[in-house]
Structure 1
Amino acid sequence: MNKKRIVIISDMDGCLLDKTYDYRKSIDAIKYVLKNNILLILNSSKTRYEIEYYIKKWGLHDKTIFIVENGAAIFIPKKLVGKNSLIHNVLKKHRYILIDKYIIIVNGLKTSIIEQKIADIIEETKEKILWLKDFTPQKFSELTGLPIEQSILALKREYSYLFHPLVKGEIIDNIIEEIRVRGLNVSTGSGIIYLITGNHDKGLATKQIIEIIKEIFNKNIVTIGVGDGHNDISMLKTTDYSILLNCREDIIQELSNKNNIAITCRRGPSEWLNMVRRIVELIVKKQ
């Protein structure tokens, strides 16, 4: 029996990156992935421009697929697909566009459309909420700890809209509910920056890319999901094996019915590599 190609679908912040966002701390993890011929797919709330920054630093050009803004769009390098007619037949099932060097499957709404849908909410709450249009790179850096250079890239949203509450309590819950009533999703990793998107999530994008990857490798794959937050739950429920870098009880409870899951309280690239090694070794032994 042929060995299955291992595919890792991973969040970035808190997983491949720690709170310093220093790409150099992830080099060992990236080397491990490349050495073992593992296909790495990045699945993040980050923008295309942020993820491309790390792809360049990690030397992953045309070697990785990435998913942006909580599942809003999947970027597949054209060189990775080549002229494989089977892949193009699968892609026809999805709404995709060709831009630059990418085939892009679009699930999300454009940022401008999201802004139109909540324009009245923005106007009515400008004293209580810092909205995307009001952010400066300096303010975003102050709130998130991102360097200014990366904060500029983080604010170049294509399929999502950001906000930061200036007050606390029930009023914020009411605003979030009003946004959701309009058919939009609201999520947060830190409770500091909230992300508004269309009606999609990381799990939807994960299912789509697994279907496509199965065609590339003739269904001969095994998938590992790695995440650390609420917005990763739908992704972790979808993969064959899952790694949760967070032992928060509420997240664990959401994944209580998931088989083949490994949980650790530690986060960041070193723990990412430790846990991935464990699961990869387990998969290899079973093959």
Structure 2
Amino acid sequence: MLSLNSSLMIITDLDGSLLDHHDYNWDAASEWLARLKQHQIPLVICSSKTAAEIIPLQKKLGIVGAPFIAENGARVVLGGEYTPPIETSASYHALCQTLQALQARFRFNGFHEFSDAEVARFTGLTLAEASQSRLREASEVVLWRDDEQRLPEFRAALAEHNLALTQGGRFWHVMPAGTGKGIALADIQQHLAAQEGEARTTIGLGDGPNDVPMLERVDYAVVIKGFSKTPVELQRTDTENVYHTAHVGPQGWREGLDYFLAPNE
């Protein structure tokens, strides 16, 4: 087991991992969150959520100023004070224009086509949270309504515009090519190692296919049992450093840390 007194960093997905897939609570993880804070172990959020969603969540979790990864790695904040946007960015509008052109060939809808109330209805978010989820900077959430067999064709069409497609726990996400949770984590690791003079041992927790690049990069990976049709499959050979949970959501999150970390320090 790893010691809480060692130089650790926890990287976590949110929906379906630290947060319950249905009601977004994290009660089952509370004890571990308090323990991590007590031992000053950084908790890095690595999510498909927007910066506008993550900032208030950091306040609730007591980790204001910590680095975080938003929009599946399309947005990286290295720490310190950060003010989320009050409106969507120009690069996001350009991305949406590209997607609108592709709707002539494929059947799908993006978050930009819906109202806050509509997003709240199909996600279970509050109206305020739905509004924050639509304050996007670099990626778009896509509801795929076409034949699944056409996804490779859609992926190829996106690549012609230097865009990539990744699958989350519930939705598809379109983002700039060359971005992702693994690349974003590498940026944060490099930044912190330069600040602290050493590399921290990393434990990553995630439940969806979009978490794979992050789970491949961390030293210890917790694959939380999820709801995605596509299983989370890692190519790692160090299987002793990978744990698959029996529980979902924050219960699985707690189970994963119980497995790798000594609890009584």
Residues 29 and 269, structure 1, Cα contact 8 Å, conserved in 2: no
1:261 aligns with 2:263: no
How do residues 63-82 of structure 1 correspond to structure 2 at under 5 angstroms?
Answer: 64-78=66-80
2:143 is matched with: 164
Instruction: Give TM-score scaled by structure 2 length.
Output: 0.83
1:224 is matched with: 203
Residues 69 and 77, structure 2, Cα contact 8 Å, conserved in 1: yes
Paired with 2:139 and 2:257, the residues of 1 have a C-alpha distance of 30
Residues 78 and 191, structure 2, Cα contact 8 Å, conserved in 1: no
1:240 aligns with 2:241: no
2:114 is matched with: 135
Q: List runs of 5+ in structure 1 lacking aligned partners.
A: 80-98, 102-108
Residues 111 and 142, structure 2, Cα contact 8 Å, conserved in 1: yes
Q: List runs of 5+ in structure 2 lacking aligned partners.
A: 85-89
Instruction: Give TM-score scaled by structure 1 length.
Output: 0.77
Q: Secondary structure at the match of 1:110?
A: helix
Paired with 2:93 and 2:247, the residues of 1 have a C-alpha distance of 38
Q: Secondary structure at the match of 1:157?
A: coil
Deviation at 1:23, TM superposition (A): 5.1
Paired with 2:83 and 2:47, the residues of 1 have a C-alpha distance of 21
Q: Secondary structure at the match of 1:224?
A: strand
2:258 is matched with: 277
Paired with 1:5 and 1:236, the residues of 2 have a C-alpha distance of 19
CA pair 278-26 structure 1, distance change in 2 beyond 3 A: closer
Q: Among all aligned residue pairs of Structure 1 and Structure 2, give the percentage whose two residues are the same amino acid.
A: 23
Map Cα deviations across residues 58-90 of structure 1 (whole Å, 9 max, x no partner).
22222x2111101112213337xxxxxxxxxxx
Cα RMSD (Å): 2.8
Aligned residues: 252
2:87 is matched with: none
Map Cα deviations across residues 182-218 of structure 1 (whole Å, 9 max, x no partner).
221112224x532110011100011111112222332
Q: Secondary structure at the match of 2:73?
A: coil
Q: Secondary structure at the match of 1:266?
A: strand
Q: Secondary structure at the match of 2:261?
A: helix
The structure with the largest alpha-carbon Rg is: 1
Paired with 1:249 and 1:49, the residues of 2 have a C-alpha distance of 28
CA pair 205-258 structure 1, distance change in 2 beyond 3 A: farther
Q: Secondary structure at the match of 1:242?
A: strand
1:27 is matched with: 30
Deviation at 1:167, TM superposition (A): 4.2
Paired with 2:160 and 2:133, the residues of 1 have a C-alpha distance of 26
**AA paired with 1:29?**
W
Deviation at 1:256, TM superposition (A): 4.5
Q: 1:215 aligns with which of 171, 194, 200?
A: 194
CA pair 76-253 structure 1, distance change in 2 beyond 3 A: closer
